[in-house]
Every structure is written in structure tokens, then in C-alpha cells.
Structure 1
Amino acid sequence: MTIDPGALARTRARHPEAIAEAAARRPRRPLLGRSGRLLIVAADHPARGALGVGRDPLAMAHRTDLLQRLCLALSRPGVDGVLATADILEDLLLLGALDGKVVMGSMNRGGLAGAAFELDDRFTGYRPQDLARIGFDAGKLLLRVDHRDPGSLDTLHAAARAVDAMAEHRLPVFVEPFLSRREGDGGRREGSGVLRNDLSPEAVITSIAIASGLGGTSAYTWLKVPVTRNPDDMARVLETSTLPAVLLGGDVGDDRNGANDEDAVYEKWRGALQLPTVQGLVAGRALLYPPDGDVAGAVDTAVGLL
């Protein structure tokens, strides 16, 4: 698909109502299709200032290129939908790329990458009422908790109320939990140090237990969980909750995730996808920016794993 950024800008400038009109006529589908599995392509990174992929710190900064990659990924058989913020989803609406797809809105993007307030994950993206109004299918929130940071209590409280509000609208909410810490300083208040998510089995188990108990009901709560450093630990990790779960797909070649090549990442996904509570996969940079540049090939490989 050839995308004209000028045409998108002109529509936005002269006919902003076109976005709501496109949403109103968008054909919808159930969250889970006939396969009972779910493959979602994630592209909500830019709104948190996380533009890098591998060694390119601005890989996701070229919006037309990102949209072309997303449209290609969404066109592949077996891809169920997309996770993104309003600016990206509305471009995709105008391009007609969301017809018959699961559309998941990203809710809290206030914890900007590298900021002193990164753990203060304010809900600066979609609100539950926004998702209900525009007719999207689900929401996603990020829940990072640092036991040394008193501000994490505010994040927990906001996340719990978001779970409640999503349930009131009968919309699924995908909670992505981590135990996090800053390395190299005494805590968030100093505003320095590198934020790391703890992917040990004990930390992931604890984060799942915390996320599962948020809000006044868990009826509409899903978990979006990372694969632990040792994939063999995932069976024990996912015994923590009976909530439906999807796997979090990271950046191929990201040493922090314990994998340096595509094959290693796919093998980690392959084993965890067989566990009983796992319903599918939500992956972004690994599919949109594969090392060999073959988006269709990366997406098709992921579909095959399901």
C-alpha cells in the first residue's frame, strides 16, 4: 500500500469528522475468532517516546513507514488486530486497514521512556469511555511497580479504577504487569538510573498475582505477560492465575530480553504458546522491524507458531 501523508493531513485538517465516520462504518468481529487464538500487532511505543528498534534510536519515528509496515502486517492471514494510540489508529481507520480487525487502544502512556517520572504511568491515552464511544474492542494498560517507589501506589490505584471502568463498558482490558527497579541510584525520586523490568520467574509470578487482583471484578481482565529469561519457567509462572493471557513479544536482538536473534525469540514464544491459559501473542517491533526487513515473513512465522 502506498500511503500519502499529505492526504491524511488534509483529511484531518478539513474533515476531522471523517475519523468518527470511518469508525462508525467499520465492520467488527469478536475478540476471539474461530481459531480461538489471538495475534495482535503492537505499535503504541511512539507515544511513550520509545522510538528505537535495535541499534536505530529513531526507527519508529517515520510515521508513513510505520503505517506501511502496519498495513502490511494487518493484511497477512491470521493477524487478528492491532494495539496502538489514537493518532495511529485513526490513520489506520482513514486508510481502511481496521475493517474486520480487533482494535485495542493503549491507555496509559505517561511514563515516558527515560524520564525521571517514567514509573508514573499516567493514563494519558485512551479512556474507557473513548474506546466505547468509537467502537473499539479492547484496551491495554501498562503496570510497572517498584517496591522502593511510593508513587507506584498511585499507578496501582489508577490501574484498578481503569479495570473497573472497562468492566462497566464490558470491554476487555489487557494488563501488562512488571516488577521494575532503577539500577544505579537510590530510587525514582533522584531521577537517574536505568529502569529495568525484572524477568525472573519470581518477579513475573508476583506481578501476575498483583495484576490479577485489580479492581472490583476480573471478568474482563486479560494478562499480557513477558516470557521469562528461562522459557522453561513459564509453566510455573502461568500457574499464578486463571485469567486468559497473551504473550508479550519484545524487540528481536534486545539483550535485556535474553535473546539475540529471531530464532531464539520464536522458540521462546513457541513453548509458552502451548500453556493452557495462553490465548495468543501481542508483538510489535519483532514483527514490524525484523532484522532482515521482511515484515510479511516475520508475521507469517508468528502466525505459524499459533
Structure 2
Amino acid sequence: MFRMVNHSRWRFMSKLRLVAHISISIVFTLAILSHYIGYASTKNDLMVLKVNGPIKPSTADYLERMIAKAESNESTGILIELNTPGGMLDATRRIVSSFLDSDVPIITYVSPSGARAGSAGTFLVAASHIAAMAPTTNIGAASPVLSDGSDLNKTLASKATQDTAALMRSIAETRGRNVKALEATVLNAKAYSSEEALEAHIIDYIAEDRDQLLAILDGETVETKSGSRTISTASMNLYEGKRNWKEKFLDAVGDPNITFILLTIGSIALTIEFVSILEGV
């Protein structure tokens, strides 16, 4: 026995598929185009980047791309305004490597007041050429844990802890920071207030806000991979390096709430597709 095809439902499903395909095409086209969109800059420009949230692969993509652009444009430096609870170790290693290899001075500023550079954020601050914090911020507690925040099993915890502690020691030695104090953030999950971090020589400065920080940094000389660089903030132009569409999309997908919504929508779409196939048989 043959069943009659519900043409209205079939047309609806066809339109739905078409809209989905067009939407996906638009997203990826914008991601590709945004990768090539540039900006006018001068050698006295300071790029301002904002990292607010967990450290993810998309965060590493964003920072690596911005560092490459700043180097290409011979910018004065990069100011990263940081507020993070931590994040993924692989992404953190990528960012640390890009900081250490940068020809442009990297300035990390944990702000605003109440912000933190937790866990992975500690590595980013330590690896910067200049590290600063706003008052009433904190840094540390960098012991490795599972992605859900739970503890690793004993054997894996020992290996991961020793591995990340070695990374932290090498960063501290390279940047001339307090090795023991930073190592304690990994081995003992030690955390520091901004004042304690300054006193322990984990960071270089405490600044009330961005303007005060820039005033402090005027005339500061740092050693980059390509040699000494002096920062002049007297007539500096500030511009924000924005995420492209690809990085925004990956940021959103990396959000557990967004991931749940996407999985729910995908499940519903598959169910509709399955039902429409059965009705057409």
C-alpha cells in the first residue's frame, strides 16, 4: 500500500534545510572574510584586547592572531585586560608560547577590581613582559584539575602537577619573577591578592585603572624576542582588537549553556527529519 506524500510538510522541510544551509554558509563566509579584515595603525598604537571568561582554544586563536597583527603593524605593544577563572591547559600553553615569542611587548592587566587571574590566567600573567593588577583582584590557584573542576586521580594528578609546575618555573625564570611563589600556585594551589602578588614579585605594578597603568608604563623598557623595546604612552593611540566571526562562534560553542541548546536543536531537527522520511515511505 502506498501512502500519499504530505506536500506541504515536504515543502516546509525543504525550506528548513535551505535556510540551515544558507545560515551555515553565511557564518563560515563571514569567518573567512573577517580573518582578512585589517585596520590602519601606526607604530605608536597600543592594541587593547579583552579576555573575559575561561581560556579556550578560541582564546588562543584570538590572541595568536592579534599578536601576529601587532607585530606586522609594528605596534608599540599589546594590553590584555584579563578576568578569567582558568581554562584548558593546551590552549594556555599555546598562549604562553606566543607571549614568549612575541616581538611586541605584552602587558597583562587583571581588571577591573574584583577580577581574577585564576589557574590558567596565572600562566598568562607570569608570561607577560609586564604584569599588572587592579586593587582587590587575585591570582593563583593553578593546580591542574579535570574539565569539570573535579580532582584528578592520584597518578595523573602527580604527573600533571609536575608538568605544569615545570612550565611555571621556566616562565618565572624567563621573566625574572619569583619562582617559588609562582610554583606554589601549582604545587599548593596558592592564591595571592594583588598586594601580595606585588610584594612577592609575581607582578610588576598595581594600577587603579587603565589610565593610571599607561601613565606608569610611559618610558618603560622591556626585552622582547627581537630586542629592547621602549614603551611611550604620552601620545599613544589605543585601538581594540576584536574577535572575528570564527572566534566568536567557537567562543559561543564552547559555552556549556550554548552547547546544550545546540545539541537540543540538533536532536529536534534529527527527529523531524526521521519522522518526515517515515511519512514519505
TM-score of the superposed pair, with normalisation by structure 1: 0.30
Which is helix-richer, 1 or 2? 2
Pick 1 or 2: higher relative contact order, CA cutoff 8 A, min separation 6.
Answer: 2
TM-score of the superposed pair, with normalisation by structure 2: 0.32
